[in-house]
Amino acid sequence: MNLLQACLLVSSALFCIGLVTALSRSNTILVLLGIEIMLNAANLNFIAFWRFSPAGTAPATGVIFVLFSIAVAAAEAAVWLALVIALYRHQQNIRLQEATRLKG
Amino acid sequence: MNLSFALIAFLILASAVLAATRRDLIHSALLLVGNWLGVAFFYLWAGAEFVAFAQALVYVGAISMVVLFAVLLTRRTRTELPLLVATRDRVVSAVLGGLAVFGVLAVAVLRTPLDINPAKPAASVSMLSLGQQLMGPHAAAVLIVGVLLTVSLLGAVVLASSDADGKGEAP
């Protein structure tokens, strides 16, 4: 096992922790935190592949990928938290199981 | 180098596991700040300084504050209910699903022959070349991300603002 595989294993474990968090918790903010953990795991992969890429490839592609990914993650977190506040105003709590008003 | 990588990996994974299992939401958010700091340390270790500083600014500085504000705004003031534990079946199935995904990923990673040159030092990219790449070949993407951020933040303000016609509950 070389160092790149160790990096990929760490990011896989981080992704699965985020997945379990997002699937098992019923608090909306904790689901958001799980999704952010998964996004961070993906960014770790980008940087790991960029770090160990052979010489001669595009010099900063992984870095630019991660920069755009961080920007999109910031926008996503802002929209999600606005949704949390709107949900709290409508049903006075933020449990996901009770957000069933549009259910047919 | 391997020791520092092991320390960083331990920081990332331990803070993530602790944050995923805490009952109190504030504790989870603060432990997630530790996780994001660990990720920033990983970027520094890998030689991507600019990304590390961007991670520290955006995640540790901004997103953690937004999350803490949301936690405080949606917290019940007087009747502080404990966070309801999710049903046991859902937790067990989520953990099993996560372990299955990790097994698939780990086998795929370990069975794949990945050729690297381990003696290569950190391929540090200078700020100048990064800026030139962002303003040159990736200028359209920078503009699109700017438009996306503007639209999403305006939409967030519209979503979170209270109803003007007085139909909603009193804030």
Chain A contact for B147 (CB, 8 A cutoff): no
What phi, psi does A95 have (nearest 5°)?
Answer: -80, 135
For position B79, what pLDDT does the model report? 45
Reported as a single tens digit per residue, the pLDDT across A44-81 is 999 988 888 776 666 778 889 999 999 999 999 999 98
Chain B contact for A21 (CB, 8 A cutoff): yes
Within a domain: B142:
yes
Complex prediction ipTM: 0.88
CB B162 within 8 A of CB A86: no
For position B163, what pLDDT does the model report? 64
In this structure, the answer to whether residues B70 and B9 fall within a common structural domain is yes
Listed residues B77, B108, B136: the one ending a domain: B77
Residues of B in contact with A59 (CB under 8 A): 123, 125, 129, 133
Within a domain: B40:
yes
Q: pTM for this one?
A: 0.86
For position B164, what pLDDT does the model report? 56
Q: Which of B109, B132, B163 to mutate to test the interface with A (most CBs of A within 10 A)?
A: B109
Within a domain: B27:
yes
Q: For chain B, how many structural domains are there in total?
A: 2
Question: Closest to B159 (Cβ–Cβ): which among A20, A55, A86?
Answer: A86
Within a domain: B168:
no
Reported as a single tens digit per residue, the pLDDT across A1-51 is 788 888 999 999 999 999 999 988 878 888 999 999 999 999 999 998 888
For position B80, what pLDDT does the model report? 47
Average pLDDT by stretches of 10, chain B with 171 residues: 87 91 85 93 88 91 88 66 62 91 93 70 72 89 94 91 58 48
The CATH code of domain A3-98 reads 1.10.287.3510
Nearest to residue B115, comparing CAs of A43, A52, A22?
A52
In this structure, the answer to whether residues B73 and B130 fall within a common structural domain is no
Question: Closest to A9 (Cβ–Cβ): which among B25, B109, B160?
Answer: B109
Within a domain: B95:
no
| DSSP-assigned letter for residue B63 | I
Smallest CA–CA distance from A95 into chain B, residue: B84
Q: Look up the CATH number of the domain holding residue B30.
A: 1.20.120.1200
Chain A contact for B138 (CB, 8 A cutoff): yes
**Chain-chain contact of B152 with A60 (C-beta, under 8 angstroms):** no
Its domain, for residue B11, covers: 1-77
Question: Closest to B54 (Cβ–Cβ): which among A1, A51, A67?
Answer: A67
Whole-angstrom Cα Rg for chain A: 18
Within a domain: B46:
yes
Chain A contact for B64 (CB, 8 A cutoff): no
Measured distance CA(A90)–CA(B151) in Å, rounded: 24
CA A74 to mean position of chain CA atoms: 10
In the block, residue with structure tokens 């929209």: A79
In this structure, the answer to whether residues B70 and B133 fall within a common structural domain is no
Per-domain boundaries in chain A:
3-98
Chain A contact for B83 (CB, 8 A cutoff): yes
Asked whether the predicted pLDDT for residue A104 surpasses 60, the reply is: no
CB A74 within 8 A of CB B65: no
Q: Could you write out the three-class secondary structure of B17-57?
A: HHHHHCCCHHHHHHHHHHHHHHHHHHHHHHCCHHHHHHHHH
